[in-house]
């Protein structure tokens, strides 16, 4: 380590963000870069902790503790402190194919298990990761690695989200011919259409896709397996198939009035918004069928209610504000988290504490208060005569610990309320992958409809067919998807070649 006393001398510091009032006027990323000298100081805060829990990637109490990718965090922190940026880049990319994605959108479980974080603010691991890869691109260190020698083995990957891209990148590195199928009009899956541009600029995604294309990966868009091409055809044409189609079936809310117009799943809203933005940016003529399937939904001038308190809900809040909504409110059925760890949430578990993300920060500045309402249960949707949603009826709830029968909460009498709403966005998570491929091939699935494939082997019940990412494990983080894509690639290579050199 570079400076043994750095963690005692320096305080945690993050780069400034663009002001909320300024950034809601556009779709540009809101994080600003940090000076190299300040980043070196932040790297110096990494302590000689003995056991770097930040890179363990264990599941503790149903959440990630440490980096699932096993990033060699203390090593590149030290290299940054010593101003050895190129070496830090090489160290970072030994374990992470796409640090430009995780550095922007990962909630940083590594920081949650940082040893310094036991009694001090943790090391700014995520920002250092982001800074390393962006400098690497700027300096020209990130170059396509091309080969003239191929194994002759052909692999089809279904889905171009983070799991599919990571799997493709790894298999291409060991000289297999890789084709990635994507049903949408652009490559990237969740990275392209599930995360808004101000959080992950699509030029960043396209930069990586272009690099992979130069390295020999073939991408086919507007191709839905099970519709445009039968899954059985892939089995005939390829030596192995990897299903990385994600967990895309949205969880619904079955209450009275759900059939009202103006109630949409969050991904309909986010996908349509990004597609419109990119079509206009590139002066493209929108594909009629794709535009019908993913229409643009405007929040302009409307009272918007987002039901769901996770990252997707936050993205709906930030997007609604940029549309110029009249108001935005976010419902969360769970209780407001504590400001600090509780006794039943000790380090190195992921800290379940109250956080203010970019969308809530923006709404607070514009509306004067945090848009989130906790312990709130939606009872019904009220309609206009036209059939469009008019309002939401809710009631406050009280959670009951230890209750084993029925809902684990009770409704609090006298707390009923009616909220005006002309646009409702359901951000309630996902229940599993869409299943036309599993049905066609009769692939075994688990009780949650996820494709059944043992972790570490990733082989489905069909020979030569593998599964990874959210399609296998259920809805999760981008960093877990990258991890699973890498792991699955290793097992595909072993299956094809009898042995593997992939990590």
Say what the pLDDT of residue 284 is: 55
pLDDT tens string 315-355: 999 999 999 999 999 999 999 999 999 999 999 999 999 99
Residue 295 confidence (pLDDT) above 90: no
Residue 282 confidence (pLDDT) above 90: no
Residue 435 confidence (pLDDT) above 90: no
Buried b (16+ CB within 10 A) or exposed e, 130-144: bbbbbbbeeeeebee
- Tell me how far apart the alpha carbons of residues 336 and 373 are, in angstroms, rounded to a whole number: 8
pLDDT tens string 228-244: 999 999 999 999 999 99
| Strands, E assignment, 248-314 | 249-250, 263-265, 303-307
Say what the pLDDT of residue 287 is: 56
pLDDT category of residue 29 using cuts at 50, 70 and 90: very high
Residue 292 confidence (pLDDT) above 60: no
Residue 285 confidence (pLDDT) above 80: no
CA atoms within 13 A on the CB side of 348: 22
Helix (H) or strand (E) holding 59: strand 58-60
Residue 132 confidence (pLDDT) above 70: yes
The set of residues, in sequence order, having a beta carbon less than 8 Å from that of 353 and lying 6+ positions away, is: 337, 338, 339, 340, 341
Closest CA to 143 of 66, 234, 243, 215: 215
Q: Please compute the mean of the pLDDT values over residues 50-75 and round it to a whole number.
A: 93
Say what the pLDDT of residue 121 is: 96
Say what the pLDDT of residue 384 is: 97
- Tell me how far apart the alpha carbons of residues 123 and 397 are, in angstroms, rounded to a whole number: 38
Determine what percent of the chain is predicted with pLDDT higher than 70.
Answer: 97
pLDDT tens string 456-488: 999 999 999 999 999 999 999 999 999 999 999
Helix (H) or strand (E) holding 218: strand 218-220
Say what the pLDDT of residue 290 is: 52
Q: What is the mean pLDDT of the chain?
A: 95
3-state DSSP percent of the chain in helix, strand and coil, to 5: 35, 15, 45
Alpha-carbon distances, residue 231 vs 103, 237, 390, 448, 461 (angstroms): 35, 10, 43, 22, 15
Say what the pLDDT of residue 208 is: 98
Q: What six digits make up the tokens of 189?
A: 């899956």
Please provide the size of the chain in residues: 503
Say what the pLDDT of residue 283 is: 57
Say what the pLDDT of residue 281 is: 83
pLDDT category of residue 148 using cuts at 50, 70 and 90: confident
Say what the pLDDT of residue 294 is: 64
The set of residues, in sequence order, having a beta carbon less than 8 Å from that of 5 and lying 6+ positions away, is: none
Q: Please compute the mean of the pLDDT values over residues 357-376 and round it to a whole number.
A: 98
Q: Torsions phi, psi of 214, nearest 5?
A: -65, -30
Say what the pLDDT of residue 291 is: 53
Q: State pTM to two decimals.
A: 0.95
Q: What six digits make up the tokens of 417?
A: 């309320």
Residue-wise DSSP of 255-269: -BTTT-BTEEEHHHH
Could you give all domains of the chain from N- to C-terminal order, each with its CATH number? 6-139 (1.10.1060.10), 154-249+430-497 (3.50.50.60), 252-426 (3.50.50.60)
The set of residues, in sequence order, having a beta carbon less than 8 Å from that of 169 and lying 6+ positions away, is: 97, 212, 217, 485, 489
Least confident segment among 111-120, 168-177, 397-406: 397-406
Say what the pLDDT of residue 293 is: 60
């Amino acid at each position: 380590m570079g400076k043994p006393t750095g963690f005692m001398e320096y305080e945690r510091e993050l780069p400034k963000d663009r002001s909320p009032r300024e950034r809601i006027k556009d779709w540009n990323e809101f994080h600003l870069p940090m000076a190299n000298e300040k980043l070196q100081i932040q790297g110096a805060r990494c302590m000689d902790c003995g056991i770097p829990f930040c890179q363990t990637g264990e599941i503790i109490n149903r959440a990630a503790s440490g980096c699932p990718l096993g990033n060699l965090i203390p090593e590149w922190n030290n290299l940054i402190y010593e101003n050895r940026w190129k070496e830090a880049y090489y160290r970072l990319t030994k374990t992470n194919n796409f640090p430009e994605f995780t550095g922007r959108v990962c909630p940083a479980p590594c920081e949650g298990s940082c040893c310094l974080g036991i009694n001090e603010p943790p090391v700014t691991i995520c920002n250092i990761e982001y800074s390393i890869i962006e400098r690497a691109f700027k300096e020209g260190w990130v170059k396509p690695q091309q080969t003239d020698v191929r194994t002759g083995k052909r692999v089809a990957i279904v889905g171009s989200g983070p799991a599919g891209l990571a799997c493709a990148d790894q298999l291409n590195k060991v000289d297999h011919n890789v084709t990635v199928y994507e049903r949408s009009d652009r490559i990237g899956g969740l990275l392209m259409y599930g995360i808004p541009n101000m959080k992950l600029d699509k030029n960043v995604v396209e930069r990586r896709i272009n690099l992979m294309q130069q390295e020999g990966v073939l991408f086919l868009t507007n191709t839905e397996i099970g519709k445009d091409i039968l899954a059985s055809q892939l089995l005939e044409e390829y030596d192995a198939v990897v299903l990385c189609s994600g967990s895309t079936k949205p969880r619904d809310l079955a209450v009275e009035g759900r059939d009202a117009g103006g109630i949409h799943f969050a991904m309909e809203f986010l996908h349509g918004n990004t597609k419109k933005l990119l079509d206009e940016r590139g002066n493209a003529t929108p594909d009629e069928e794709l535009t019908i399937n993913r229409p643009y939904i405007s929040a302009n001038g409307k009272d918007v209610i987002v039901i769901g308190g996770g990252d997707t809900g936050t993205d709906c809040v930030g997007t609604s504000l940029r549309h110029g909504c009249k108001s935005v409110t976010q419902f969360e059925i769970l209780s407001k988290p504590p400001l600090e760890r509780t006794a039943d949430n000790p380090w190195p578990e992921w800290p379940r504490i109250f956080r203010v993300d970019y969308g809530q920060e923006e709404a607070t500045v514009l509306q004067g208060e945090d848009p989130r309402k906790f312990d709130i249960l939606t009872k019904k949707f009220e309609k206009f005569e036209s059939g469009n949603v008019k309002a939401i009826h809710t009631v406050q709830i009280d959670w009951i610990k230890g209750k084993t029968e029925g809902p684990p909460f009770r409704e609090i009498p006298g707390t009923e309320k009616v909220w005006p709403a002309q646009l409702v966005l359901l951000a309630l998570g996902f229940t599993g992958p869409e299943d036309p491929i599993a049905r066609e091939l009769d692939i075994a699935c688990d009780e949650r409809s996820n494709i059944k494939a043992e972790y570490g082997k990733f082989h489905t019940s069909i020979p030569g067919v593998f599964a990874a990412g959210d399609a296998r494990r259920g809805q999760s983080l981008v960093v877990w998807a990258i991890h699973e894509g890498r792991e699955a690639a290793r097992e595909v290579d072993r299956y094809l070649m009898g042995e593997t050199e992939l990590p």
